[in-house]
Amino acid sequence: MKQSFLDFEQPIADLEAKIEELRKVTADSEINIAEEIERLEAKSRQLTEAVFSKLTAWQIAQLARHPRRAYTLDYVQRLFSDFTELHGDRLFGDDPAIVGGIARFENRPVMIIGHQKGRDTKEKLHRNFGMPKPEGYRKALRLMRMAERFQLPLLTFIDTPGAYPGIDAEERGQSEAIARNLSVMAELCTPVVCTIIGEGGSGGALAVGVGDRVLMLQYSTYSVISPEGCASILWKSAEKAADAAEALGITATRLHQLGLIDGIVPEPLGGVHRDVDQAAEHLRVALQEALSELAEDDLKRLVEARYQRLMRYGEYTE
Amino acid sequence: MTSSRMSWFEKLLPSRIRTDARGKRNIPEGLWTKCPACGGVLYRAELERNLEVCPKCGHHSRLRARQRLSQFLDPEPHMEIGAELRPVDALKFKDSKKYRDRLAQIQKTTAEKDSLVVIMGQVSGIPVVAAAFDFAFLGGSMGSVVGERFVRGVNTCLEHRIPLVCFSASGGARMQEGVYSLMQMAKTSAALARMSRERLPFISVLTDPTMGGVSASLAMLGDINIAEPKALIGFAGPRVIEQTVRERLPDGFQRSEFLLEHGTLDLVVDRRQMRHCIASLLAMLTHRSLSLLSAPAKTDSIGRE
C-alpha cells in the first residue's frame, strides 16, 4: 500500500520513492541490487528515527489527524472478539460519530465506547468527521449505565476534533449532554479506562474521557481548544497554530510530565499508520495492564480513588 | 485645580472644607448612563436601584461577581470561601503576552484574584453557599482556581448540608491553563454529582454569557436551571457555528428563551424577581417555611475579606 507523507516527512518520502524505483528496476532486469535497496532501507529507517525523535507539538498534531491513522473500529477489530455494536440514545436517534457495544477483551466481557471518524468522503460525512451531537453522548451515557448495571469494565477510545458546533446540536442541548456524562462517569461503579488514540478535542473528548486510567498513544493530542482555534483567538491569526500547539502543551509527553495522564502507549516508528497491527498490540498490553490493576480494587474504593484524583486536578497557590 | 488658581478666599479655608467644596463643583462622571440595548438615557442611581436592569426596556446589564452576590444574599453573615487561592502559570503560557502578565494586569483592574467568588451566607434566612463568575476577569474563564473554589464551595455545602446557588457568566475554559482548565469541567461536575447523591439542592443561574466549558459542565447540572432574560447560552460560540454550517443563525438562537423552548432550562426569571424566586424554591426543596421578613437586597458591593 502506498504511504502518504506529511510535509515534515518529505526527506523520508524522497528516499522511499527512490527505493520503490529501484525495486521496479530489479523486477525488470537481471541486475541484483538487493544490497543497495537494503542499504537505502536502513538509511530510511535512520532518517525516520531522526525526524521522529524531535517532533514539534504541531507535527504531532498532524500525525494525530493523519488521514491513514487507525480509528476506534480498527482497534476494535484487532483487540476484541464478539463485538456487537449497540445503537441509539432511546431519545432522538443514533449518532454514527460515536460507536459503542459489548465485546470480549482477552475473553472477558467489556463495554466499548469510542469516537469514530470516516475513511473516505462518504463515510467522513456519515460520521460527521467524528464530531458527536447530543444523541451521541446520550448513547454513550446509556451504554455507561448498562456497563455499570452488568459489571462490565468500560473502555473508551477518544478521537474527535470536538463536539459538533451546529444549530441542531445546540437545540438538543450539547452542553447538557456533555455535562451529564462528566458527572455520571465520575461516579460510575465499574472500572473505566480511557485511551486517546488520535485527537482529544476539548469537552467533546472529555465527555467520554473521565476514568480511573487515562492513556494516550504516543502521537495523539489532548487539548482544551484546537491549536488553530487558540491561535485565532489569542494571536488573532490561525497561522500561528504551531505556536499555539507548543504553548497549550497538547502532547502525550508534556501531559504525562504534568501528571494529567497516566501512561503513554508507544507507536510504531513513523506513527500508527505505518503498522496498525503492531500499534494494536502495544495498546493491548497497555489495556491489559490497566484492567488487571483496577480489577484488584473493590468498586467502592475504586470510585472514591477516581473522585480524589479528579479533585487533585489543578495548579494554584494559597 | 492648581493652587495658583485658588482664590484668596479658598486659601483661608481649612483644607478639609476646601476639598469638600471642590468635590461639589465637579459634576460626577457617570451620573447619567445610556442603555446599551434601547439607547434610553438613564439616571445612574435609579439603574442601580433597579439592579442594573433598564427600567425602559428591561435589558439586563452584566454584573460584577460581588455586585451579584450582594444583590442576592442577605446583608450578613458572609464568609468568603477560597479567597486565599491564587492562579499560577503552570504552563509558562505566552501568546502576544505572557499569561503571568495578563493575570497581574487583570487582577489590578478588577481587584479580584480570579474569576469566581464564593460566599457562604443566607438568602431570606436560608443558609446557602452562593458562587458568582466575574466576566470582567478574563471573560469569566474557568481555570484551576475557579475549579478549586467551586469544589470548596460544594464541600462547605456537604459539611453543613446546605444548598448551592451558582451564577455563571463565562466564555468557557481558560486556554492559558491548557488541559488543567479542561479538567476543571470534570472536577466541578464530579463534585456536583456528590452533592446530588447527598440530596442537596443545586440551583444554577445562567447569565449573559454562559458558553463553552462552563456551560458544558457545572452550569447545566442544576437540579433547577434558571436563566436571566435574553442571556447568550450555549456550547459553541455563534461565530464558530456560523462558520461551520455556513448559514445565518435563526433569530434569538442560543438566547434564554430559545433554550427554555427547547427544554434545556426550567425558568427564565427577571433579575428583580430572582432573589425571591430562588429563596422560595430553596425553602420548598429544604422543607422550610419562608420568612416573610426577608431583608431587601443591598445594591452596593460586598467588600473583600
CB A291, CB A104: distance < 8 Å: no
**Cα distance between residue A215 and residue B84, in whole Å:** 34
Q: How far apart are CA B1 and CA B25, in angstroms?
A: 11
CA distance B143 to chain A (A): 8
In the predicted structure, residue B73 carries a pLDDT above the cut 80: yes
User: Is residue A233 within 8 angstroms of chain B, CB to CB?
Assistant: yes
**Minimum distance, in Å, between the CA of residue A213 and any CA atom of chain B:** 14
CA distance A182 to A163: 14
B153-158 long-range Cβ contacts below 8 angstroms, 24+ apart: B153/B81, B153/B82, B153/B118, B153/B120, B153/B129, B154/B129, B154/B188, B154/B191, B154/B192, B154/B194, B154/B195, B155/B191, B156/B81, B156/B120, B156/B129, B157/B129, B157/B195, B157/B200, B158/B194, B158/B195, B158/B198, B158/B200
Q: Is B96 in the A-facing interface, judged by CB distances under 8 Å?
A: yes
Q: For chains A and B, what is the number of CB pairs under 8 angstroms?
A: 193
Q: What is the pLDDT of residue A36?
A: 84
Those of residues 256-295 in B touching chain A at CB distance below 8 A are 262-264
> Would you state the cell numbers that stand for residue B234, as one nine-digit string?
450555549
Measured between its terminal Cα atoms, the distance across chain B in Å is 35
Measured between beta carbons, the chain A residues lying within 8 angstroms of B88 are 315-317
B144 chain-A contacts, CB cut-off 8 A: 313-316
Q: Does B90 contact A315 at a Cβ distance shorter than 8 Å?
A: yes
Task: Give the minimum alpha-carbon distance from A8 to chain B in angstroms, rounded to a whole number.
Answer: 24
- Residue B299 pLDDT grade (very low, low, confident, very high; cuts 50, 70, 90): very low
pLDDT (tens digit per residue) in B24-70: 445 566 789 999 999 999 999 999 999 999 999 999 999 999 999 99
Q: Give me the pLDDT at residue B292, please.
A: 53
Is A247 in contact with B95 (Cβ distance < 8 A)? yes
Long-range contact list for B274-278, CB < 8 A, 24+ apart?
B274/B72, B274/B205, B274/B226, B274/B228, B275/B71, B275/B72, B275/B123, B275/B124, B276/B124, B277/B226, B278/B72, B278/B123, B278/B165, B278/B203, B278/B205, B278/B226
CA distance A132 to A136: 5
**Would you say residue B257 has pLDDT above 50?**
yes
Tell me how far apart the terminal alpha carbons of chain A are, to the nearest angstrom: 57
The string of DSSP letters for B32-60 reads EEE-TTT--EEEHHHHHHTTTB-TTT--B
What's the pLDDT band for A33 if we cut at 50, 70, 90? confident
B222 touches chain A (CB under 8 A): no
- Collect all residues of chain B within an 8 Å Cβ-Cβ radius of residue A229: 240
Query: Looking at the complex, does the CB of residue A224 fall below 8 Å from at least one CB of chain B?
Result: yes
DSSP classification of residue B296 = P
Span B143-161, mean pLDDT?
98
> If you measure CA to CA, which chain A residue comes closest to B90?
A315
User: How do A81-85 and A98-105 pair as beta strands?
Assistant: antiparallel
Rg (CA), chain B: 22
Shortest Cα distance, chain A CAs vs residue B78, angstroms: 20
Selected for mutation to probe chain B from A131, A235, A313, A317 (highest B CB count within 10 Å) is A313
pLDDT of res. A99 = 98
Over residues B207-227, the pLDDT tens digits come to 999 999 999 999 999 999 999
Cβ–Cβ under 8 Å, residues B131 and B118: yes
Residue A40's CB is within 10 A of a number of other CB atoms, namely 16
CB contact under 8 A, A210 and B148: no
* B31-35 CB contacts, 8 Å cutoff, 24+ apart: B35/B59
Round to whole Å and give the CA distance between A169 and B133. 26
The amino acid sitting at B212 is G
pLDDT band at residue A24, thresholds of 50, 70 and 90?
A: confident
A271-317 pLDDT, tens digit per residue, is: 999 999 999 999 999 999 999 999 878 999 999 999 999 999 999 99
Output the CA angle B107-B111-B112, nearest 5 degrees: 70
Q: Which of A21-30, A60-69, A136-145 has the lowest mean pLDDT?
A: A21-30
Say yes or no for a CB contact (<8 Å) between A248 and B219: no
Nearest CA among A201, A251, A254 for reference residue A228: A201
Q: Which of B213, B237, B210, B240 is nearest to B225 (CA)?
A: B210
Long-range contacts of A120-124 (CB under 8 A, 24+ apart): none
Determine the average pLDDT of the residues in B274-281: 97
Beta-carbon contacts of A228 under 8 Å, excluding residues fewer than 6 positions away, are A238, A241, A244
For residue B58, is it left (φ>0), alpha (ψ between -120 and 50) or beta?
A: left
- Using the beta-carbon criterion (under 8 Å), do B221 and A180 form an inter-chain contact? yes
CB A14 within 8 A of CB A51: no
Cβ separation A184–B179 shorter than 8 A: no
| Alpha carbon of B84: minimum distance to chain A alpha carbons (Å) | 5
Report residue B171 as a C-alpha cell.
466564555
Amino acid identity, position B99? Y
B291 forms beta bridges with none
Res B305: pLDDT: 41
- Quick one: angle between helices A299-312 and A174-187, nearest 10? 130
What was the pLDDT predicted at A255?
Answer: 97
Cα gap B221→A283, rounded to integer Å? 34
Question: Using the 8-state DSSP alphabet, how is residue B98 labeled?
Answer: B
Q: What is the pLDDT of residue B238?
A: 93
Read off the pLDDT of each residue in A196-216 and give the average, rounded to a whole number.
98
A173 inside 8 A of chain B by CB: yes
What chain B residue is nearest to A245 in terms of C-alpha separation?
Answer: B178
Q: Which cell is B136 given?
A: 470582567
pLDDT in tens, B162-184: 999 999 999 999 999 999 999 99
In B, which residues are within 8 Å of A125 by CB distance? none
3-class secondary structure, B5: helix
User: Do B123 and B279 meet the contact criterion of CB atoms below 8 Å apart?
Assistant: yes
Q: Confirm or reject contact between B180 and chain A (CB < 8 A).
A: yes
For residue B143, give the chain A residue with the closest CA: A314
Distance from CA of A183 to the nearest CA of B (A): 5
The closest of A155, A247, A292, A17 to B91, measured between CA atoms, is A247
> How many percent of chain A have pLDDT more than 70?
97
* Whether residue A210 has pLDDT greater than 70: yes
CB B1 within 8 A of CB B10: no
DSSP state of B173: B
Question: Dmax over Cα atoms in chain A, in whole Å?
Answer: 77
Contact A225 B173 (CB under 8 A): yes
Query: Per-residue confidence at A261, pLDDT binned at 50, 70, 90?
Result: very high
C-alpha cell at A182: 462528566
| Residue A34 or residue B136, greater confidence | B136
* Model pLDDT, residue B6: 55
B116 interface with A at CB cutoff 8 Å = no
Q: B262–A307: do the CB atoms touch at under 8 Å? A: no
Q: What's the CA gap between A162 and B150, in Å, rounded?
A: 25
Q: What percent of chain A has pLDDT over 90?
A: 86
**Percent of chain B beyond pLDDT 90?**
81
With CB atoms and an 8 Å threshold, state whether B241 touches A316: no
What integer pLDDT is reported at residue B23 of this predicted model? 44
Residue B5 pLDDT level (bands cut at 50, 70, 90)? low
Does the distance separating the beta carbons of A169 and B84 come in below 8 Å? no
Per the CB < 8 Å rule, is A316 touching B87?
Answer: yes
> Does any CB of chain B come closer than 8 Å to the CB of residue A307?
yes
As a dihedral over the C-alpha atoms of residue A210, residue B209, residue B148, residue B187, rounded to 10 degrees, the angle is -10
In eight-state DSSP terms, residue B267 is E
**Which residues of chain B neighbour A172 with C-beta distances below 8 Å?**
262
Interchain CB contact of B170 with A (< 8 Å): no
Instruction: Write down the H helix ranges in chain B.
Output: 8-12, 15-25, 44-49, 65-72, 99-110, 144-160, 178-197, 212-215, 238-245, 256-261, 271-285
Q: Is the confidence at residue B21, as pLDDT, over 50?
A: no
Distance from CA of A124 to the nearest CA of B (A): 15
Residue B302: pLDDT band (50, 70, 90) is low
CA distance B23 to B20: 5
**How many Å apart are CA B87 and CA A99, to the nearest integer?**
39
Rounded average pLDDT over A190-210: 98
Q: Name A84's bridge partners.
A: A102
| Sign of the CA dihedral with A40 first, then A41, A46, and A48 last | positive
* pLDDT of B199 above 50: yes
Using the Cβ of B158 and the Cβ atoms of chain A, whether some distance falls under 8 Å is answered with no
Measured between beta carbons, the chain B residues lying within 8 angstroms of A235 are 95-96
Alpha carbon of B109: minimum distance to chain A alpha carbons (Å): 20
Is the per-residue pLDDT at B300 higher than 60?
Answer: no
Of all residues in chain B, the percent with pLDDT exceeding 70 is 86
Q: What is the pLDDT of residues A151-179, one digit of tens each?
A: 999 999 999 999 999 999 999 999 999 99
| Band of pLDDT at residue B293, cut at 50, 70 and 90 | very low
CB-closest option in A183, A184, A260 to B183: A260
**Interface residue B178 vs chain A (CB under 8 A):** yes
Contacts of B102 in chain A (CB under 8 A): none
Q: What are phi and psi of A94, to 5 degrees?
A: -115, 130
